[in-house]
Amino acid sequence: MDKQMDKQTKLFTIAGTALSPEGRERFCVSNDKVHVRAYKLRFHGCTAVELEQLPEPMTLEQAKAWIHSQRAERAAAAAAAAKKADFVARMAAARAAKKAAAAD
């Protein structure tokens, strides 16, 4: 119980997720360097390791919330970029079709 309480109040500088060898997604926190922690996770069979340096030391719950918000922002930005790329491609196709029609 004391170890669990300590993990709730301890501050961490690195957080992220990794896929365990059993196929479960794990939330990982550490005070080590990102590349060292990623190496240790891969050494123990984890895949899809995505760790990030936290902007400031955070508790476990704060780190989970921060990682979740960062991933949501990235997903929204990726969706917006994909939408813009689709629009640009459609406009280029429309211009090409218009140009071909004018040439006939």
Q: Residue for token digits 């993990």?
A: 7
pLDDT of residue 3: 62
Q: Cα–Cα–Cα angle for 20, 64, 35, nearest 5°?
A: 55
Q: Closest Cα partner for 56 from 14, 16, 27, 28?
A: 14
Average pLDDT value over all residues in the chain: 88
pLDDT of residue 71: 83
Q: What is the pTM of this model?
A: 0.65
Who's near 31: CB < 8 A, 6+ residues apart?
A: 11, 12, 13, 14
Cα–Cα dist 103/39, whole Å: 60
The predicted-structure confidence for 50-81, as pLDDT tens digits, reads as follows: 999 999 999 999 999 999 888 888 888 889 99
